[in-house]
Amino acid sequence: MFQAPKSKMMLAGVLAASIVSAGCSADEKDAAGTAAETPAVEEAKTTTYQIFRKFAAPEYPEDGGVGKKTLLEAFEKTKAKGFDFKVTLASGDDYFTKLNLLATSGQLPDYFDTDAKTLSRFSEEGLLLPLDEYLKDAPNLMKIIPQEFWKEVTFNGKIYGIPKGRNDKPFNLPSTLGLTIRQDWLDNLNLSRPTTLDELYAVMKAFVTQDPDKNGKNDTYGLGVSKETNFNAIFGAYGIIPKYWTKVDGGIKKGFVLPEMKEGLALLQKWYMEGLIAHDFPIMESKQRDELVINSLVGLFEGDVYYTEKSSSPLATSLNEATPTADLVMLEAPKGPNGKQGYQEKLYNSEFSALSAKMKEPKKLFQYLDWIADQSDEGGFNHMMYGIENEDFTYDRATDTIELITPYAELYKKGYSNPVRFVVVTDRRSAKPEVREAIEIVNKHVISNALWKSVPAEMDYPDLETKLWMEYLVKIVTGVWPVEKYDEFIKKYYAQGGKIIEEQANELWKSLQ
């Protein structure tokens, strides 16, 4: 039997202790009491569920804040008893590192976020709770999540995950990431919004050399990226998204093995060598990249549609506070040398949640999940997502429009919204006109993934994308290696498991046609 190294087991133990920092649940505490302390009328025992979420929100209060208090009070009015939760947050690669350590040590949290590959692997390893029995009593969950989405989380005939829900409104289109630029910088330099890679290059050059923020200092970058960046917006101008499957000659191949990849790498290396890309991006965390944006050191980066309106995201709010004249707008996907363009398509149900096979009383948790999936006045969705009506938001039921009174950053501080969005539903009723415009721009040109489902070999060889490909990407972009060395990566990829992955992917893809 495989045994994890002691150092990893110790680390996982510390991590589990931090996640379960609320201590034992109330039902366990009751068991420790004396018989004399038993009340005349026994109340429902409280179970505190440990929730691990993939989200960055340092503002979220350790104790859950007023948001947790009001949510639990409202939930109790539905006759629910004995429910509590403790949220722990992590983001990026750090989240999955911690999640895998917890899985290795047998200490998975009760409820956690996951991706398709991890969900498949955990289900095979018996770490997850089958959900079919509990979904029978969760009509709101079943209503908000399209029937076809459940297929993505079904393994060997059983459901092991909760997909992302969807509201069918035009402003709920799935893709939200694109190149975001400082319009005020363009105005300062009398430049138009770039529409091609050549125009983008000229703008970046001007951002680096012509003092776009007019502070008299030579302190600005052309393109701000972090170590998590795949440069998808740039490769999209060559018709590929590196990690997406692309249709080629009656089959499918990963974008990063196609000839267009080297063209994109050559361009990025040129930009980096000319000082247009933040030089330390290989070690830069996403929050550090965000700090560059907030401090007006970066005016072009891959950002979210919500960054385009000052009250719609913590980054936009912080930038506006630091520079009230700052104006972020979304660019249409730039065209490449052959007229190709596109941002990465985002699948509606690319995010999942799962329950540990070891968790206690899943029925209570499902009662809460079904309540916060309910968007009616009796449900908890609006309360969970936007706070208290007429205090944190207003709701025009006639037009189905929500107006935020409290910005998202403040909602996080109170304990509402994304940190406690245990049921993820695409809901942009609160999106400002600027955000809705940005959504339309991003979704105007998207590059699809020919196959979303994972194949077994991808789980057998996870390092091919996360480590091997990233090593070649970074070292070639930064000029450590020449572009020609990328041929070596393709040979290694196929030799070290990529051939099997591609064969299995094509077999699956053809079976779905």
Query: What is the DSSP annotation of 269-328?
Result: HHHHHTT-B-TTGGG--HHHHHHHHHTTSB-EEEEEGGGGSTTSSHHHHHHHHH-TT--E
Q: What is the DSSP string of 55-83?
A: ---TTS-TT-HHHHHHHHHHHHTTT--SE
- Cα–Cα distance for residue pair 288/308, rounded to 1 Å: 19
Strand locations in 14-129 (E): 47-54, 83-90, 111-114
Is residue 10 predicted with pLDDT exceeding 80?
no
Q: Which amino acid is at 476?
A: I
The SS3 assignment for 168 reads coil
Interatomic CA distance for residues 118 and 208, integer angstroms:
41
Beta strands in 333-417 (DSSP E): 343-344, 352-355, 393-396, 401-404
Contact 391, 414 (CB under 8 A): no
* Closest of 116, 114, 92, 93 to residue 103, by C-alpha: 114
Instruction: Give the dihedral sign, CA 416/64/371/129.
Output: positive
Whether 40 shows a pLDDT value over 80: the answer reads: no
For residue 496, the Cα-to-chain-centroid distance in whole angstroms is: 29
**Stretch 321-328: mean pLDDT, rounded?**
96
**Contact assessment for residue 103 and residue 122, using Cβ atoms and an 8 Å cutoff:** yes
Nearest-CA neighbor of 92 among 128, 55, 46?
55
Q: 194 or 401: which carries more pLDDT confidence?
A: 194
> Which DSSP string corresponds to 131-170?
-HHHHTT-HHHHHHS-GGGGGGGEETTEE--B--EE---G
Show Cβ contacts of residue 292 under 8 Å, excluding neighbours closer than 6 positions: 221, 224, 278, 298
Return the H-helix or E-strand segment holding 447. Answer: strand 446-447
User: CA–CA separation, 70 vs 76, rounded Å?
Assistant: 10
Q: What percent of the chain has pLDDT over 90?
A: 76
- pLDDT band of residue 32 (cuts 50, 70, 90) is very low
3-class SS at 114? strand
Would you say 298 and 243 are in contact if contact means Cβ atoms under 8 Å apart?
no
Map tokens 């018989």 to a residue: 35
**What mean pLDDT, rounded, does the chain reach?**
90
Which token pair is 91? 């983001």
The one-letter code for the residue type at 197 is L
Residue limits of CATH 3.40.190.10 in the chain: 47-168+349-436, 177-344+453-512
Which class is 177-344+453-512 in CATH?
A: alpha beta
List 434's β-bridge partners, or say none: none
Q: What is the pLDDT of residues 397-408, one digit of tens each?
A: 998 889 999 998
What pLDDT is attached to residue 420? 98
Distance between CA atoms of 190 and 209, rounded to whole angstroms?
A: 14
CA nearest to 210, candidates 194, 234, 190 = 190
| Side-chain half-sphere CA neighbours of 446 within 13 A | 20
- What is the reported pLDDT for 19? 63
Point out the least confidently predicted range of 115-119, 130-134, 327-331, 365-369: 115-119
First-to-last alpha carbon distance for the chain, in angstroms, is 40
- Closest C-alpha among 242, 433, 244 to residue 346: 244
Measured distance CA(328)–CA(147) in Å, rounded: 37
Q: Which two tokens stand for residue 49?
A: 């569920």
| Residue 34, φ and ψ in degrees, nearest 5 | -95, 160
pLDDT tens for 433-467 read: 899 899 999 999 999 999 988 899 998 998 999 99
Rounded CA gap, 8 and 92, in Å?
20
CATH 3.40.190.10 fits 47-168+349-436, yes or no: yes
Neighbours of 510 (CB within 10 A): 11
pLDDT tens per residue across span 358-371: 999 999 999 999 99
Please give the single-letter amino acid code of residue 340: K
| DSSP per-residue codes, 392-412 | TEEEETTTTEEEESS-HHHHH
Give the pLDDT band (50/70/90) at residue 346. Answer: confident
Parallel, antiparallel or unpaired: strands 446-447 and 343-344: parallel
Question: Considering only CA atoms, which of 80, 91, 89, 12 is closest in space to residue 51?
Answer: 89
pLDDT band per the 50, 70, 90 thresholds, residue 2 = very low
Q: Which residues are registered as beta bridge partners of 155?
A: 158
